[in-house]
Structure 1
């Protein structure tokens, strides 16, 4: 066995899988080390991928040449496009996945990738020489050497599980915690902290009275996560179910607060504000008489259900009593209770935008170790860390995405510039350029970039070029085809659209809210002939992409102008040009924050909390600007 690699990835969660696959696909001899090879890409909490802003990240991972979208499409048991009532900047794909098949699919990919090897073990120590990482040592006393190491430890670093007053060491239920790495990194000068997350009870579907719930069916149109050619969904499509808590439930939960780790002082670390536990909900929103819950299937054939909205670390008997106050759960049987887990993370301001640590050369962090929460946020960091770990070994400029290029760029810039004071979760509101960062155009934004560094392969480039050419064909026809009122007005009136008073171009009709390419193609035979030239497997995808470009052209152009203006500041480099503590004209807070973050550019400096416009003006004056 060869113990020398280019890249070692520690941890095979969503960040680790994407990191290892990216490094291997770019040509690095890569080793992925995991505690349990049967749980790669384990969906530790919700058996779902995507959602508001998160779905955009998954499409970006796919556009770059990653695998989360492909695996999700192949294991989906329900798919929905969220936020359809809003503009396309807010549309977000989401899928329920079969938890077990998700793992099988990922493992099948990883084990068959050239350059990628796996080892089942736990890393206890990094090998660091002269400020550079050189490898790892494991609990089995095996030493692996490498040019770069990516840590994706999830919730395993000194992980501690809480169920009421019961405490169990572990990174997940029934899985051991990892010790040694936090202590070593702190001894080398890195700043660590503790965070908390939680997961709900798992329910036996045979004990649920589904007649007391409301069915929530999925969608079965062309939408999916991967930009690769459309394939019909492989698995049986299942429903989710909605239901509500009530006052009786809340009374039972309140009776257990004295034994809640969240409220008796047992847990001191920071929890996710945007995904509160059920006990936090009844305390924070004491006036609410009910809270919505979602009962979500864990797989195509299993009876296990995930109760979204009922995360808890209350004692087992309290959780069970509270559940039985809900009519649908009056006879409920559970597989395991909800629990909270505390774990170590490292303040992400200690990272470059490449996700390399500032302190140790060629050591990269990705996922919950950086204070984030969510599979999608982890996968997005993982693919960037894997790319840059490969580059760190073989040379080249770091691969960094801007805030106007990807939600992944927003995510990483927020982490390294602002740090975290709670588990970071992506929202569309965090992005300034939402109209540019839509779920439909991630391939246009990112696939060419990924191809240039050797990650996205020719098949993706070919699909992208075909899509762009076909979209241009539709838009060009609509721009040039003239419509006369006498031919189109009867059809417009049938669609309850205002008839024309004079001729216009077809594109002017497409921009109307109540009209679209499909219904206009029924009124304009020559337009239908153009659409008939589209490949059947991608026809709807291409029509949607073209229509968004037509309807939102003005908004897209305006936002791009704003992004271009701000990007000028991204090119004003300041790293290494100032000793901030010596600039007395800066505020005290600015001197402290700029010294700590050491931003690369004026634009990054302007995004640091506590840095005022006057502080930025002072720096520009000192630069002669």
Structure 2
């Protein structure tokens, strides 16, 4: 067996799988090391992918040539486009996934990717020479050498699980934790800390009274994650279910708080503010008499359900007693209780935008090791780390994505510029260019960029070019086709919108909120005929064209703002200043600029504590 590789990836979670497949697909001889080959891309928490802002990240992963969108489409048991009542800037795709099929599909991809190999083992330390990583050592005593190493350790670094006063070492239920790497990196000067996350109880569906719950069905339309031209979803589509806690539930939970690791001092690390445990909810929102719970199916061939909204580390008996106070769960049987887990992470300001560490060359971090939470955030980081690990191994130029190009760009810039003080989760509100970062146009933004780097293949470029051509054709038709008042006014009045006083272009009529392409096309035969010419992915292309027409002014305005900021992104300042010697900067600015050593003026402006005056000082020193 050859123990030399171009890229080594440690951990086969969502970050590790994307990193490994990206590096291998770009041509690197890649080794993916995992503790358990049967848990590749395991969904440690809820059996779902996407959601608000997270769905946009999955679309971006797919547009770049990653795998998460493909796997999610192939294993979906429910699809919903969230936020449809709002503007398309915040439409967010989400699927319920068959947990077992998700693993099977990912393993199938990993095992059949050229240049990619798997080794089942635990990495105990890194091989580092002259501040450059050279490989890893494992618990079986094997040394693997590589030009680049990507760490995607998830919650396994010194993982400690909590169920009431019971503490169990592990990275996930029934799986051991990993030690050695944190301690080694601390000795090298890395800053590390602890974070906490949790997961809810898993319920046997046979013990649930579904008649006392509200059914939530999925969407039955063309939407999906991958931009590749797939057939309809292969698995049976299932419903989710909604119910609520009540005051009896809250009293039972309150009575058990003295045994809660979150409140008795047992857990000292930081938990996710935006995904709180049920015990945190009843304390923080003490005035609320009910909290919504979502019961989510785990797959088509299992009775296991995930209870979203009931994450907890309370003792087993407290969790069960509280659940039995919910009418639908009065005869509840569970597979396992919820638990909290503490784990090590590293301050992400110790990384470049490529996700390479500043302290050790050719070493990359991706996923929860950087203080993030979520499969999607992990997958996006893994993809960028894998691309750059390959490029670093072969002497290529670095690959980065800007904030106005992708949510992945926002995610990584936030991490390396601002750091984290709680598990980082993506929201649409974190992106200042939301209307440019829509889920419908991730391929427009990113596929050509990924193709030029070598990850996205010709098939994707061909599909993109066809889509661009068809969108332009539809928009061109609406821009040139005029309508007379006497012809179209009865139609407009039937839709509840004001009549025309003179001839108008079809494009201007489509911008009205009461009008969409489909309803107006039914009354304009020439337009309907033009739409029918769309050869493939007709609904996707028509929707994309309509968004471009309706939001054209907003898109152009936001692009102008982004272009202005880009000028600051082009002013590079890395290693140009001894910040501690610039006394005209505030003390806080000197300290933070010295620590982060930003790449550009724009990145410096986003560092918390850096004022406009500090930026002006730097621009003056640059002669601007």
TM-score by length of 1: 0.99
List aligned pairs for 1:460-471, cutoff 5 A: 460-471=460-471
Identify the residue that residue 372 of structure 2 maps to in structure 1: 372
- Residue 497 of structure 1, CA deviation: 2.6
Identify the residue that residue 268 of structure 2 maps to in structure 1: 268
Identify the residue that residue 548 of structure 2 maps to in structure 1: 549
Identify the residue that residue 585 of structure 2 maps to in structure 1: 586
- Distance in 1 (alpha carbons) for counterparts of 2:622 and 2:150: 36
| Segment of structure 1 superposing worse, 5-14 or 390-399 | 390-399
- Distance in 2 (alpha carbons) for counterparts of 1:215 and 1:518: 29
- Distance in 2 (alpha carbons) for counterparts of 1:230 and 1:490: 40
Q: Say which SS state the counterpart of residue 383 (structure 1) adopts.
A: helix
- Distance in 2 (alpha carbons) for counterparts of 1:482 and 1:416: 51
- Distance in 2 (alpha carbons) for counterparts of 1:491 and 1:326: 51
Unaligned regions of 5+ residues in structure 1, if any? Answer: none
Offset from partner CA, 1:274-310 (integer Å, 9 cap, x none): 0000000001111110100000000011100000000
Identify the residue that residue 96 of structure 1 maps to in structure 2: 96
Identify the residue that residue 49 of structure 1 maps to in structure 2: 49
- Residue 27 of structure 1, CA deviation: 0.2
Q: Say which SS state the counterpart of residue 523 (structure 1) adopts.
A: coil
- Distance in 2 (alpha carbons) for counterparts of 1:490 and 1:323: 57
Offset from partner CA, 1:555-589 (integer Å, 9 cap, x none): 00000000000110001111111111111111111
- Aligned-CA RMSD value: 0.6
- Distance in 2 (alpha carbons) for counterparts of 1:279 and 1:527: 57
Identify the residue that residue 308 of structure 1 maps to in structure 2: 308
For the pair 1:612 / 2:611, whether they are aligned, the reply is yes
- Distance in 2 (alpha carbons) for counterparts of 1:481 and 1:187: 69
List aligned pairs for 1:187-226, cutoff 5 A: 187-226=187-226
- Residue 485 of structure 1, CA deviation: 1.4
8 A Cα contact 1:222 1:230, kept in partner: no
Offset from partner CA, 1:201-241 (integer Å, 9 cap, x none): 00000000111110001001000000001311111100000
List aligned pairs for 1:520-559, cutoff 5 A: 520-535=520-535, 537-559=536-558
- Residue 547 of structure 1, CA deviation: 0.4
- Distance in 2 (alpha carbons) for counterparts of 1:367 and 1:352: 15
- Residue 491 of structure 1, CA deviation: 2.1
Q: Say which SS state the counterpart of residue 108 (structure 1) adopts.
A: helix
Identify the residue that residue 442 of structure 2 maps to in structure 1: 442
Identify the residue that residue 430 of structure 1 maps to in structure 2: 430
For the pair 1:76 / 2:83, whether they are aligned, the reply is no
List aligned pairs for 1:320-469, cutoff 5 A: 320-469=320-469
List aligned pairs for 1:292-307, cutoff 5 A: 292-307=292-307
- Distance in 1 (alpha carbons) for counterparts of 2:167 and 2:493: 68
Offset from partner CA, 1:161-191 (integer Å, 9 cap, x none): 0000000000000000001000000011101
For the pair 1:489 / 2:489, whether they are aligned, the reply is yes
- Distance in 1 (alpha carbons) for counterparts of 2:415 and 2:495: 49
8 A Cα contact 1:230 1:538, kept in partner: no
- Distance in 2 (alpha carbons) for counterparts of 1:237 and 1:413: 37
Offset from partner CA, 1:512-544 (integer Å, 9 cap, x none): 111011111111111111111112x40000000
- Residue 486 of structure 1, CA deviation: 1.7
- Distance in 1 (alpha carbons) for counterparts of 2:291 and 2:506: 48
Identify the residue that residue 236 of structure 1 maps to in structure 2: 236
- Distance in 1 (alpha carbons) for counterparts of 2:286 and 2:486: 62
Offset from partner CA, 1:487-512 (integer Å, 9 cap, x none): 21222233233222211111111111
Q: Say which SS state the counterpart of residue 424 (structure 1) adopts.
A: coil
- Distance in 1 (alpha carbons) for counterparts of 2:164 and 2:494: 63
Identify the residue that residue 66 of structure 1 maps to in structure 2: 66
- Distance in 2 (alpha carbons) for counterparts of 1:388 and 1:312: 38
8 A Cα contact 1:410 1:430, kept in partner: yes
Identify the residue that residue 123 of structure 2 maps to in structure 1: 123
Q: Say which SS state the counterpart of residue 90 (structure 2) adopts.
A: coil
Q: Aligned pair count?
A: 624
Q: Say which SS state the counterpart of residue 294 (structure 2) adopts.
A: strand
- Distance in 2 (alpha carbons) for counterparts of 1:203 and 1:109: 30
- Distance in 2 (alpha carbons) for counterparts of 1:216 and 1:437: 28
- Distance in 1 (alpha carbons) for counterparts of 2:162 and 2:279: 14
TM-score by length of 2: 1.00
Q: Say which SS state the counterpart of residue 440 (structure 1) adopts.
A: helix
8 A Cα contact 1:46 1:306, kept in partner: yes
